[in-house]
Structure 1
Amino acid sequence: MALVPGYHPESPALGQLRREVREFIDQQVTAGRFTPDVDTWLRGWDENFTAALAERGWLGMTIPVEYGGRGRSFTERFVVTEELLAAGAPVAAHWIADRQAAPSLLRYGTQAQKHRYLPDIAAGRLFWAIGMSEPDAGSDLASVRTRGVRVDGGWRVSGTKVWTSGAQLAHAFFLLARTEAVDNANRHAGLSQFIVPLDSDGITISPTLSMDGAHHFNEVHLDEVFVPDDMVLGTIGEGWAQVTSELSYERSGPERFLSTYRLLAGLVDDTASGNTRRHSDLGAHIARIAGLHRMSSAVAGALEQGESVASAAAVVKVLGTSEEGDIAELADRVVVRDGSLSLRDMADRALVQRPGFTLRGGTNEVLRGVIAKELGLR
């Protein structure tokens, strides 16, 4: 049984697009507008860089023109995002808005919601976050305790979300809440999604610092926050199905295997120049990245055809995030501290982030269960 769709070789037009993106990146780096780094889709918040991408037409690429987007394909967007990630570019500001919010709004949003939010996402002016995980509900989202209560004209929502990347800078987030009592026979029933501006009355955002002191995670507490009916995303009670489709975009993209690509490229360069000792695993990592590129590209092609990719996304996420962490650990072993400072610094940052690679977007342990179920093994 094929869990991942078949791979189709890249067309000449896509190859040309890659060259255009690489030329743009070279210009940005030469001009000193950013320094390549690791894990920049989470940690590299740079609104000026986001604006430069929007000016080139490389944001909102799959958003139809009628909503302010570019009307281009998922494979074209894949090429652009892959090149940006491979370059270690600072893409965090627009990442969730472009990757998740836009496709979800297109699929489940009302016409009013689409016209309100999509043009600003494509223009690089609107930043988004995701309100899913809670203190006692990580990968098991059916356990969320955030509750929405029906009131006149809308809903009152109370609860706490954690690991909310960029919430301190974002304008809005999708919130998953329970709107009906738990049905023990179907715990996924009775969940709903809301669009919530992060400056709403009743919201408190508190930083959750990483081990190295970096601030990109947050705890978001909601105390009787009013959400009007026109900010319901999709259908009340259908939140689980909506979130599951949304997570396919989160789990299958090239960020799931390229977070530490700059570190791998640096290892290759330093090994060639003699600054880092040769290691037999280096070639294996290059081969694994090549395979993951094909798998993730195939998923992008399937998304373009409107196919379900939930299981394929889980495969890419499990294999890709494991590879990212393995690259970090190899670099930590072989890069000496009196060698390339920038490479050693990147290795240290990647190692700090390494535990999170396999957690964010759903733990790999849970996703292995998803894959096993698809194969009929459980």
Structure 2
Amino acid sequence: MSEFDDLRADGTDLNGLRAAVRAFLAADRETFGWTPAVDCWLSSWDTDFSIRLADAGFIGLTIPVEYGGRAPADGTGYLHRYVVTEELLAHGAPVGAHWIADRQVAPGLLAYGTEDQRRRLLPQIAAGRLYSAIGMSEHGAGSDLAAVQTRATRDGDGWLLNGTKVWTSGAHLAHQIVVLARTSPLDTAHRHAGFSQFIVPTDRPGITMSPIVLMNGEHHFNEVQFDDVRLTDGDLLGELGSGWHQVTSELGFERSGPERFLSTATLLMDVVSTLGRADVDDRTAAAVGDLMGRMVSLRQLSIAVARALTSGEDANTRAAMVKDLGTRFEQDSVELAADLVDGVGGADGERLRALLAVARVHSPLFTLRGGTNEVLRGIVARGTKAAT
């Protein structure tokens, strides 16, 4: 495979898959009438859509068949999922319900879960029927996850979980939260040691959720309080004390996908399509061309990460680059779209300004979720230094 081929997501099987996803989305939208949304992987939660998508074979593409998934036998599941993800985001489909479970919980279970956890949870994820949240950030421990204060302490043959998580996307609708907690005392010389992960069902006694509402009234985020929530050893994900390694590995999946530069794709494609039906000046054409050029470059980098994950390589540094560059691109794209939409009137202008209003509210989130860009640049710097 040439260096150029490594940056492509096509070929006979992938092109066929892309065509099948497009056909499904067109038919599903016509039948069920959902509206394409900006930042759809956060803003659009439709459990029935997730089930239909799974029934069509487009969820669980990294999950082996033995666990109810549809991972190709040749190990190219991440590339197949990449193609599906691109199409879902470009069409603004309502994918929020299954997104986190399919994107990062499933790989985490495959890498670190017990056989019982895999048999119990992976088939539900592949069926689009398990909805999961991730409990990492806290007050005072957002970018610096090593400052996490949530604790799981031994209590007989189980654990008691206490602490607070914040900015927990979809927790109020999820079946479970994968929580990062300290399980041994802080060692100031090794701040990243002593963490573990737990799969915490949201119906356990002692869990209190408080909504964090966006300025436009949307509710996606939550503050989650854990007060003596009883856990068992069966709720532990992976090895005791290996939580930091597990979390940083999972963040590679969260940071590297096309959702890091296609959250505004619905708006951008609509703007470009609308402008294409009108006469535009050279300045506007150049601005659009620059934006599309940046998008293509980011796509190639993201595809390279998907290929690395397919090969089982460590892609954390490149994933951090995708997230840093991609989310800054998304914020820039909102401002450019605002300038371009300014002169559009009629029904087109009304539709575009409605999409723009949502994009403006979500824009500050782009560079925060999944790790702030300042932290990501540190990861890139350390990774680059280690490689030289």
- For the 8 Å contact 1:332–1:348, the answer to whether it is kept is no
- 1:329 counterpart residue number: 335
- For the 8 Å contact 2:38–2:265, the answer to whether it is kept is yes
- 2:68 counterpart residue number: 68
TM-score by length of 2: 0.93
Q: How big is each residue's C-alpha offset from its partner over 1:290-311, in whole Å with a ceiling of 9 and x where there is no partner? A: 1111111111111111000100
**SS across alignment from 1:208:** strand
Q: 1:186 aligns with which of 187, 190, 196?
A: 190
Q: 1:168 aligns with which of 163, 168, 172?
A: 172
- 1:84 counterpart residue number: 88
- 2:315 counterpart residue number: 309
Q: How big is the shift at 1:7?
A: 2.3
Which ranges of structure 2 fall in alignment gaps of 5 or more residues? none
Q: How big is each residue's C-alpha offset from its partner over 1:4-45, in whole Å with a ceiling of 9 and x where there is no partner? A: x94256211101111111111111222343111210000100
Is 1:195 matched up with 2:170?
no
- For the 8 Å contact 2:184–2:195, the answer to whether it is kept is yes
Q: How big is the shift at 1:131?
A: 0.3
- 1:354 counterpart residue number: 363
Q: How big is each residue's C-alpha offset from its partner over 1:140-180, in whole Å with a ceiling of 9 and x where there is no partner? A: 10000001111112110100000001111000011000111
Q: How does 1:170-319 map to 2 (within 5 A)?
A: 170-274=174-278, 278-319=284-325
In structure 2, C-alpha distance between the alignment counterparts of 1:239 and 1:252, rounded to whole Å: 20
In structure 1, C-alpha distance between the alignment counterparts of 2:164 and 2:285, rounded to whole Å: 46
* Letter of the structure 1 residue corresponding to residue 332 of structure 2: D
* Letter of the structure 1 residue corresponding to residue 315 of structure 2: V
What's the Cα RMSD here?
Answer: 1.7
Which ranges of structure 1 fall in alignment gaps of 5 or more residues? none
Q: How big is each residue's C-alpha offset from its partner over 1:76-126, in whole Å with a ceiling of 9 and x where there is no partner? A: 111111110111111000000000110000100000000110111111111
Is 1:113 matched up with 2:117?
yes
**SS across alignment from 2:275:** helix
Is 1:34 matched up with 2:34?
yes
* Letter of the structure 2 residue corresponding to residue 171 of structure 1: H
- For the 8 Å contact 1:204–1:221, the answer to whether it is kept is yes
In structure 2, C-alpha distance between the alignment counterparts of 1:241 and 1:298, rounded to whole Å: 22
- 1:345 counterpart residue number: 354
- For the 8 Å contact 2:37–2:43, the answer to whether it is kept is no
The number of equivalent residue pairs is: 374
* Letter of the structure 2 residue corresponding to residue 291 of structure 1: S
Q: 1:369 aligns with which of 374, 378, 382?
A: 378
Q: How big is the shift at 1:275?
A: 8.6
**SS across alignment from 1:376:** helix
- 1:103 counterpart residue number: 107
- 1:144 counterpart residue number: 148
Q: How big is each residue's C-alpha offset from its partner over 1:249-297, in whole Å with a ceiling of 9 and x where there is no partner? A: 0000010010001111111111112298735311111111111111111
- 1:18 counterpart residue number: 18
Percent identity between matched residues is 53
Judge which range, 68-77 or 311-320, deviates more.
Answer: 68-77
* Letter of the structure 2 residue corresponding to residue 365 of structure 1: E
- For the 8 Å contact 1:38–1:259, the answer to whether it is kept is yes
Q: How big is each residue's C-alpha offset from its partner over 1:219-251, in whole Å with a ceiling of 9 and x where there is no partner? A: 100001011011100011110000000000000
In structure 1, C-alpha distance between the alignment counterparts of 2:80 and 2:345, rounded to whole Å: 41
* Letter of the structure 2 residue corresponding to residue 358 of structure 1: T
**SS across alignment from 2:385:** coil
In structure 1, C-alpha distance between the alignment counterparts of 2:368 and 2:137, rounded to whole Å: 11
- For the 8 Å contact 1:267–1:276, the answer to whether it is kept is no
In structure 2, C-alpha distance between the alignment counterparts of 1:45 and 1:54, rounded to whole Å: 15
In structure 1, C-alpha distance between the alignment counterparts of 2:167 and 2:15, rounded to whole Å: 37
Judge which range, 197-206 or 268-277, deviates more.
Answer: 268-277
Q: 1:123 aligns with which of 103, 121, 127?
A: 127
**SS across alignment from 1:225:** strand
TM-score by length of 1: 0.96
In structure 2, C-alpha distance between the alignment counterparts of 1:276 and 1:50, rounded to whole Å: 39
* Letter of the structure 1 residue corresponding to residue 127 of structure 2: A
